[in-house]
């Protein structure tokens, strides 16, 4: 079964997928974890570290902690800027073609690059609010992301190839 994943320009899809890729081990242990925006998470960390560095700056005994939290603040700013840059680059990509067959799941981007995960390598297929993420059993394989509008097609294909046991549906957590 072949269908198009319409992720071109979908900022929420890419933010969700970036969070999943950065938190791979969390989702491997607990696939029912709720997904957040990676960029919003960095914003919260930046605010917390800035407030803590300012608070400890006014307490003479904890001035060293102020420097430590200021360093964390700078790292947070760097990660935030890096994530915004990656998001801007991802938004330039076009839609991808997803092929699910008896061998596994394949994602073809711009007819140039393809990623295929055989069924034996896939641990979970997680449905979230804006994305469907195919998690491999180990981190040596790449993750595959599918836009949520293809949810029905993915479900039909998994049912056809008797792979519904891999499916973890988290979409009810976002209502």
Q: What is the pLDDT of residues 24-72, one digit of tens each?
A: 788 888 888 888 778 888 888 889 888 888 887 777 777 777 788 888 8
- Residue 118 pLDDT > 80, yes or no? yes
14 is a domain residue: no
- Residue 4 pLDDT > 70, yes or no? no
87 is a domain residue: no
Write the pLDDT tens digit of every residue in 71-98.
Answer: 888 888 888 888 888 777 776 777 777 8
Name the one residue in this structure whose structure tokens are 């061998």: 103
62 is a domain residue: no
Look at the alpha carbons of 17, 20, 24, 29 in this order and tell me if their dihedral is positive or negative. negative
121 is a domain residue: yes
pLDDT at residue 132, rounded to an integer: 86
Main-chain phi, psi angles of 127, to 5 degrees: -100, 120
pLDDT at residue 104, rounded to an integer: 85
Q: What is the CATH number of the domain that holds 163?
A: 2.30.29.30
77 is a domain residue: no
pLDDT at residue 86, rounded to an integer: 79
Main-chain phi, psi angles of 51, to 5 degrees: -60, -45
Name the one residue in this structure whose structure tokens are 């560095």: 53
Listed residue (162, 130, 154) closest to 3, CA to CA: 154
- Residue 154 pLDDT > 70, yes or no? yes
Are 117 and 105 within 8 A, CB to CB?
yes
Count of domains in the chain?
1
134 is a domain residue: yes
pLDDT at residue 91, rounded to an integer: 66
103 is a domain residue: yes
Mean per-residue pLDDT, 116-130: 87
Write out the residue range of the structural domain in which residue 126 sits.
2-8+94-174
- Residue 162 pLDDT > 80, yes or no? yes
Are 42 and 78 within 8 A, CB to CB?
no
Burial degree of 48 (CB within 10 A; 0-12, 13-18, 19+): middle
CA distances for 129 relative to 3, 53, 140, angstroms: 19, 35, 26
102 is a domain residue: yes
Burial degree of 105 (CB within 10 A; 0-12, 13-18, 19+): buried
Name the pTM for this structure. Answer: 0.74
């Amino acid at each position: 079964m072949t269908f198009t994943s319409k992720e071109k320009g979908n900022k929420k899809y890419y933010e969700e997928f970036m969070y999943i890729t950065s938190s791979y081990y969390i989702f491997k242990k607990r696939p029912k974890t709720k997904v957040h925006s990676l960029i919003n998470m960095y914003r919260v960390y930046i605010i917390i570290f800035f407030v803590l560095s300012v608070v400890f700056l006014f307490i003479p005994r904890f001035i060293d902690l102020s420097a430590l939290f200021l360093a964390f603040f700078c790292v947070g700013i760097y990660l935030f800027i890096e994530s915004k840059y990656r998001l801007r680059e991802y938004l330039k990509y076009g839609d991808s073609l997803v092929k699910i067959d008896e061998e596994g799941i394949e994602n073809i981007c711009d007819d140039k690059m393809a990623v295929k995960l055989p069924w034996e390598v896939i641990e979970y297929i997680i449905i979230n609010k804006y994305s469907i993420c195919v998690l491999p059993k180990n981190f040596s394989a790449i993750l595959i992301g599918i836009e949520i509008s293809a949810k029905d097609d993915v479900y039909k294909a998994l049912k056809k190839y008797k792979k519904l046991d891999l499916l973890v549906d988290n979409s009810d957590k976002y209502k």
